[in-house]
Structure 1
Amino acid sequence: MKTEKENKKFFPVFIDLSTKRVVVFGAGKIATRRAETLLSFAGELIVIAPACTERIAQLFEEGKLVYKEKPYDREDLYAADVVLATTDDTKVNEDIYSACKCLGIPVNTASNQQKCDFHFPGILEYEGVVLGFNGSGKDHKKVKEVREKTRKALEQIRKEEEKCEK
């Protein structure tokens, strides 16, 4: 028999980030994926890390986000509306989480799902509709699989609709 905690699900909430400052600490593979997803949603997207991926550098050069090449400093949190802690240093992620809790800033800690005010969903956009996929932190591979199946099904529907229009 599963415990209540094992059966826990997350309620999907869609929030308007278009006027919000989202700060991502870390600029590795996970941070890059999340930053790319946030680009079309966040009013201002800031990535802070001592080094970054080529993609983050490219997005910075294109003016799509702000990249600050520096280590984490608590002062970087003060103007944030939403924070993602995606560094490869657990202690830094823990400090970001603790500081955000004190400051009342919603935070997602990539290294510890127990220290998240929200989970980062798999996103699929289709004809102006945004779909979010989440497995309550239990099976990321399954979430990705369902998102991909949904994308393919929607593409097939679009193709069939185009055929009917001809």
Structure 2
Amino acid sequence: MPRFLVFAGTTEGRETLELLSRCGCETVACVATEYGGEVLPELPGLAVHTGRMGRGEMEKMMACGRFDGVLDATHPYAVEATENIRAACDGAAVPYLRILRTDAGLPRCVQVTNTAEAARYLASTVGKVLLTTGCKDLNLYTSIPDYRERLCPRVLPAAESLERCLQLGYRPQNIVCMQGPFSEEMNLAILRSLGATCLVTKNSGEAGGFWEKCEAARKAGAELVVIGRPSESGGVTMDELPRLLRERWDLEVPAKKKESPSEAYFPMFVRLAGRDVAVVGAGEIAARRINTLLEFGCRIHVIAPEASLSVQNLSESGKIDLTVREYHAGDCAGCALAVAATDCREVNHRVYEECTAAGIPVSVADCRAECSFYFPGVVRSGPAVIGVTASGTDHHLASAITRKIKAFLSSIVEK
């Protein structure tokens, strides 16, 4: 049985592990933090190593692990980690493959090449700035004369992250300690609560919540500063990985099921203004669905035993009706449509059964077969509404097309 070592602290890392599992491989996943290990899927033949390693430790693991290959799916900005992994593979004589994150282009923004250049640019501006680039390079921003008053770093809610911010002199009232992923609505709320007129981010792609930050900045009227990705030579994207696994390691990669024309979904537009919609669940997926529905004037009833901060904020502002309890049969009665987006398969299935029996259109987040409609990517420009879907088979494709349409419409409006 083929055996692989995967540096997996990213979305691409998790997708790589799932692909290797489908191929029947044994895998060891390396993640830097305990949180990184917690979000990995439970897969047959998967072992997890937690903790940061230097080049020597990596090389020792590779030499002792009898791996057929090492797949580097670390963050595109983790240059030092990639250099160490590549060097360790050379030392241990183990085949190396870099997994690249797809770059879908940039919206209208100020582009800089690195953090130092971002700091120099910010020094020439005024107003508060939301920094969403992590805590590693926060020291470089302290060269800005008034950084204590102006800069608001958003970092992980970990003691070491907060301690670093305080040691560098950032004011406690300007530090945002939160765990992502962040929805567009949450990014927008943070920008407005801080009074920030600028947002600084890395071009981390869809997996890094890049577009949610871009859209939030646009809606807030905040300037967007994007730190470009380090250049990379060699490697493959997730779309190209199956071919490389077949060619280099002679693996049998299960082919994706192709959608037949008869299984594609017909794009029907319905009026939701003034009608009731039930959303069962109040996590990040539910929040994204709710924010989309809010654009269409419906009355949204959310049922969940606990709610994410973004959903709580929507409830407190009176935009939705939130009931904090477990789902009960009949919660969807009389609704125009329903969404099941909990982390419990049993609850989602019960919502599906209730809605199907009552003839209520339902979207079930964790089961494509139980969806009578799919949530599309939505683009609005005045009275024009454009919905994009890949019939539930390729979320990344639908998202990429939605972004391109948004960029196209924005360019028309600017002209």
In the superposition, the TM-score normalised over structure 2's length comes to 0.37
RMSD: 1.7
2:344 counterpart letter in structure 1:
D
Query: 1:110 & 1:61 partners in 2: Cα distance?
Result: 25
Report the structure number with the largest CA radius of gyration. Answer: 2
- Contact 1:21-1:42 within 8 A present in 2 as well: no
Residue among 32, 56, 71 paired with 2:326 = 71
2:366 counterpart letter in structure 1:
S
3-state DSSP class of the match of 1:108?
A: strand
Query: 2:349 & 2:385 partners in 1: Cα distance?
Result: 31
Residue among 7, 17, 30 paired with 2:272 = 17
Aligned to 1:96: 351
Aligned to 2:308: 53
- Contact 1:80-1:105 within 8 A present in 2 as well: yes
- Note the C-alpha offset of 1:79: 3.0
Residue among 101, 118, 133 paired with 2:388 = 133
Residue among 138, 144, 149 paired with 2:399 = 144
Which whole-Å deviations, capped at 9, do the CAs of 1:6-64 have from their partners, x for residues lacking one?
44321101000113210000001110000010012142101110111111111111111
- Contact 2:363-2:375 within 8 A present in 1 as well: yes
Q: Which runs of 5+ in 1 are unaligned?
A: 161-166
Query: 1:89 & 1:76 partners in 2: Cα distance?
Result: 17
- Note the C-alpha offset of 1:142: 1.0
Which whole-Å deviations, capped at 9, do the CAs of 1:90-133 have from their partners, x for residues lacking one?
01111111111111211111111111111111101112211100
- Contact 1:74-1:99 within 8 A present in 2 as well: yes
Query: 1:78 & 1:86 partners in 2: Cα distance?
Result: 17
Moved over 6 A (4+): none
Q: Which runs of 5+ in 2 are unaligned?
A: 1-255
The higher relative CO (CA closer than 8 Å, separation ≥ 6) is in 1
* Identical-pair percentage: 34
Query: 1:159 & 1:79 partners in 2: Cα distance?
Result: 43
Residue among 319, 336, 356 paired with 1:81 = 336
3-state DSSP class of the match of 2:330?
A: helix
Aligned to 1:123: 378
- Note the C-alpha offset of 1:81: 2.4
Closer/same/farther in 2, CA of residues 69 and 127 from structure 1, 3 Å limit: same
